[in-house]
Amino acid sequence: MGYKVIAPVGDNLKALFIGMKEFPTESVFLITPQNKLKEADELSKKLEEFTIGSNIIKINGNIMEEMFRSFGKICATHDEDELIVNVATGDRMSTCAALSAAFANGLKAFGIIDNKPILLPIMKLSYYRELSDNKLKILNELDSEKYISLKELSDKTKMSVSLASYHINGNYKHKGLKEFRLVDIKDENKNLCIKLSDMGRLLLKGYIKTK
């Protein structure tokens, strides 16, 4: 059995075939912006010559958000150990987005240096597995533009103020959302106020609870 490779379609598509020499490939997910659809179609046909299936995932808009959303859909229906990410196929921005999404989902990833695949130091530790249902409930009630008070958050989530504070701040044994950098907090008139961080917003884009 080979890997299911996730690859952004960018300006270094030969890197896909370099990676295939090192990592046996069963199929490929081609994450493709609108302006690269022609290249993705041509690449898909080349893969057919190697009897390797492909799935073109079209993205449009914010590349980081769309990459997290695409990874979320893939990870929701496939075992993480089956997946590997080739970040070398993209352009500068899609490579960065793919690497960030791989890190958030704890997926193996590699780049290409001197025409040789190099595994990147990503721990098998998905952010999503670190988040309890209560933490996810809190994230879903927060906005990335507007701070709300801890009391407001307590009312929205139907948690006590102390429990909401625990999930935000954590303790010496367990990390809270603040330490995961998923929320931003500030003091306002002696009240703790919270909003969703950029990282928190991206994680929610990629969260699909099917497993």
pLDDT, tens only, 7-51: 999 989 999 999 999 999 999 999 999 999 999 999 999 999 999
Residue 34 phi/psi, 5-degree rounding, is: -55, -35
- pLDDT tens digit string along 105-160? 989 999 999 999 999 887 776 777 778 889 989 999 998 889 999 999 999 999 99
Distances (CA, A) of 122 to 30, 99, 102, 115: 21, 9, 8, 21
Distance CA 74, CA 6 (A): 9
SS3 169: helix
Global model pTM greater than 0.75? yes
DSSP 88: G
pLDDT band for 211, please (50, 70, 90 cuts): very low
pLDDT, residue 145, reads: 86
Q: Boundaries of CATH 3.40.50.10770 in the chain? A: 3-119
pLDDT, residue 209, reads: 56
CA atoms in the 13 A half-sphere facing the CB of 183: 33
Give the H/E segment covering residue 54.
strand 53-59
- CATH number listed for the domain at residues 3-119: 3.40.50.10770
Architecture per CATH, domain 128-205, reads as Orthogonal Bundle (1.10)
Q: Boundaries of CATH 1.10.10.10 in the chain? A: 128-205
- Kindly give the pairing relationship between strand 25-33 and strand 83-86: unpaired
Q: No. of H helices and E strands in the chain? A: 8, 9
In the predicted model, is pLDDT for residue 199 greater than 70?
A: yes
To the nearest 5 percent, what fractions of the chain are helix, strand and coil?
45, 25, 30
In the predicted model, is pLDDT for residue 188 greater than 50?
A: yes
